[in-house]
C-alpha cells in the first residue's frame, strides 16, 4: 500500500505523524514522505513549491529521531523519488513522556505553532 493510498497525499501531516508515534510499538514503520525532501520542487511525483511545509515535517521527524523515538530510512524508487520511512524504536519511558510534555509546554509558552 502506498503513502498516497493511506493518506490521500504524498506527505503525512505532523499531526498524523505524532499520532502514529504515540500509538506505535517497537518495529512499526510508517512512510511519512514520498518525493525528494531536499528539493521538493524537483521531485517527479507532485512537485511542490510549499518548501516551508516540507521543511517543517522534515524537521519534526528529525526531532523525533534526535529524541531517540525513531530510526529514519529511505527507499529509492527513481531519480528524485524516494520514500522516507520512520521505524519506531522502544516505547517511551516515563522520562521521555515528561520530556515530550515539557517540550510541548515550552512551545505553547514561546508561542511556537506547527
Q: Tell me if 114 is assigned to some domain.
A: no
Per-residue model confidence as pLDDT tens digits over 28-42: 999 999 989 888 888
CA distances (Å), origin 19, targets 45, 50, 100, 103:
25, 23, 13, 16
Tell me, yes or no, whether 105 lies in a domain: yes
Q: Please state which of the ranges 33-37, 53-57, 65-69, 107-111 shows the lowest mean pLDDT.
A: 107-111
Dihedrals phi, psi of 70, to nearest 5 degrees: -140, 165
pLDDT at 15 over 90: yes
Contacts of 64 (CB under 8 A, 6+ apart): 17, 21, 70, 86
List the domain range (segments joined by +) for residue 61.
3-109
CATH number at residue 26: 3.30.1370
Tell me if 26 is assigned to some domain.
Answer: yes
Residues above pLDDT 70, as percent of the chain = 71
Q: Confirm whether 65 is domain-assigned.
A: yes
**Has residue 15 been placed in a domain?**
yes
* 12 located within any domain: yes
pLDDT of 22 over the 70 cut:
yes
pLDDT of residue 5: 41
Q: Is the pLDDT of residue 6 over 90?
A: no
Name the domain count of the chain.
Answer: 1
Task: Specify the higher pLDDT residue, 24 or 104.
Answer: 24
50 found inside a domain: yes
Maximum distance among all alpha carbons in the chain?
Answer: 43
94 burial level (CB within 10 Å; 0-12, 13-18, 19+): exposed
Residue 42: inside a domain, yes or no? yes
Amino acid at each position: 500500500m502506498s503513502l498516497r493510498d493511506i493518506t490521500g497525499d504524498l506527505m503525512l501531516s505532523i499531526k498524523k505523524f505524532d499520532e502514529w508515534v504515540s500509538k506505535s510499538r517497537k518495529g512499526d514503520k510508517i512512510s511519512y514522505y514520498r518525493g525528494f525532501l531536499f528539493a521538493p520542487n524537483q521531485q517527479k511525483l507532485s512537485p511542490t513549491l510549499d518548501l516551508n511545509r516540507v521543511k517543517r515535517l522534515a524537521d519534526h521527524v528529525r526531532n523525533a529521531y534526535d529524541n531517540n523515538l525513531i530510526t529514519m530510512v529511505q527507499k529509492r524508487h527513481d531519480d528524485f523519488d524516494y520514500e522516507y520511512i520512520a521505524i519506531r524504536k522502544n516505547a517511551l519511558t516515563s522520562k521521555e513522556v515528561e520530556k515530550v510534555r515539557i517540550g510541548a509546554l515550552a512551545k505553547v509558552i514561546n508561542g511556537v505553532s506547527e
